[in-house]
Amino acid sequence: MRGLLVGVRRNAGRLLLAVLVALAACLTGPGTTAQAAVPASPAVTYTNPIAEKRADPHIFKHTDGYYYFTATVPEYDRIVLRRATTIQGLRTAPETTIWTKHASGVMGAHIWAPEIHYIDGKWYVYFAAGSTSDVWAIRMYVLEGTGANPLTAAWSEKGQIKTRWESFSLDATTFVVNGVRYLSWAQRDPSVDNNTDIYLAKMSSPWAITGTPVRLSRPTYAWETVGYKVNEGPAVIQHGGKVFMSYSASATDSNYCLGLLSASAGADLLNPASWTKTPTPVFTSNAATGQYGPGHNSFTVSEDGKSDVLVYHDRDYKDISGDPLNDPNRRTRVQKLYWKADGTPDFGIPVADGVTPQRLSSYNFPDRFVRHYDFRARTDTNVSPLADSQFRVVPGLTGSGAVSLESANFPGYYLRHDNFEVWVEKNDGTAQFASDASFSQRAGLSDSAGVSYESYNYPGRYIRHYGNLLYVQALSTATDRADATFYGQ
């Protein structure tokens, strides 16, 4: 059926090509070409996974030029740290154990979800732990480190973070809004048949809260209550005068997913009414890309400081034998976080393993992105879903030094030209397809900071937009060259 629909649309497109060209002349003719500025947030790519068998990941970029990475180890017995000057470098960075569980008593079992922060000249690690006498007596604890490098710092225990109740509590994170430091965490309300809710309080020190905590979220939606009634793992990012708090929901198998809370940075954050909760999850398993149970995220920034980066764990298979907590194969992954026109985050989908995708914006229509719609390649504004406008730039299918552009949400499908129209189609393994789907990546024809794509088998013809649709055409005018120039984002 898909092939029939594509064929119908393709034939219709060919019959109407003359009309489209005439219309495009009106839309993109002389005098209407507007030059875009180089994007404020250029493309950034990484290769996943960043770390095998590392769950609940937290990556912190410090002012010393290093990224610091900690995560839950599958043995649940220690806290580890890595550092590197790049996010990708964390993959091969040596790992140091900075603290080991107690032989008996509290902090003697289930060492979970460490986070590292730098506060007032010292390092702090927040983590959860059980007791040797009761491994499920999970509570939140803090380590303090003195020294420039936390891998070699002198660490001391600051003890338990005391909250309203002595109950199951974990996943502490800290952040500052308008000069006020807050702690957010997950905890079980003993009076409710629930697992955990999300709470917030001000802090009086890096290891203590002050005032009465408030509940921001309770698992009530169906997608928050699969297996267990869970809201946990809060993580905060601020953008455009808003505070966004992602959190994880449901059991830690393939049902694990992210929800989102948002509030104005100028509001009273300790008033639950200041926060809005999305009614649907913002980040979920994706069978097409082979990623399951994405969750317990954190946020960091790219090496140039211009892009926000989503850090999370997942598995590359759906079915788990036994308790998911006994399955060691959650991996740390990263991908760029995008922002919608309304200023809210767009998490997209957990992308396939390997190189992360990017978006291509038009040089002369900067709010338009290359995307596929019913498998036809075009440019559009406000693309939804985001993944329709994400492509992995991979070695060319011809193996000739060219590149191919693989769809993020349809792995194995590539931008290719057919009768000089550009479509997204599945690689059929033929030499013809490989040639049609391979392009020489050139410096942008209208701006060398951008990129242009020259056809491998029709040299001199480039991918360009015309009437919002993509074609492979010969170029002769400044407008033609502008239409064939894109920016990676």
Residues with a catalytic annotation lie at: 56, 232
Query: What is each CA distance from 257 to 82, 131, 228, 295, in whole angstroms?
Result: 26, 28, 12, 5
Beta bridge partners, 176, equal: 181
Sign of CA dihedral 294, 299, 300, 301: positive
Rg of the chain over all Cα atoms, to the nearest angstrom: 25
In 3D, which of 432, 401, 400 has the Cα closest to residue 414? 432
- Cα–Cα distance, 372 to 13 (Å, whole number): 15
Residue 144 structure tokens: 């303090």
In 3D, which of 308, 165, 312 has the Cα closest to residue 233? 312
Beta bridge partners, 332, equal: 51, 313
Q: Are 419 and 14 in contact (CB under 8 A)?
A: yes
3-state SS, the chain, equals CHHHHHHHHHHHHHHCHHHHHHHHHHHHCCCCCCCCCCCCCCCCCCEECCECCCEEEEEEECCCCCEEEEEECCCCCEEEEEEECCCHHHHCCCCEEEEECCCCCEEEEEEEEEEEEEECCEEEEEEEEEECCCCCCCEEEEEEEECCCCCCCEEEEEEECCCCCCCCEEEEEEEEECCEEEEEEEECCCCCCCCEEEEEEEEEECCEEEEEEEEEECCCCHHHCCCCCEEEEEEEEEECCEEEEEEEECCCCCCCEEEEEEEECCCCCCCHHHCEECCCCCECCECCCCEEEEEEEEEEECCCCCCEEEEEEEECCCCCCCCHHHCCCCEEEEEEEEECCCCCEECCCCCCCEECCECEEECCCCCCEEEEECCEEEEECCCCCHHHHCEEEEECCCCCCCEEEEECCCCCEEEEEECCEEEEEECCCCHHHHHHCCEEEEECCCCCCCEEEEECCCCCEEEEEECCEEEEEECCCHHHHHHCCEEEC
- Cα–Cα distance, 222 to 204 (Å, whole number): 36
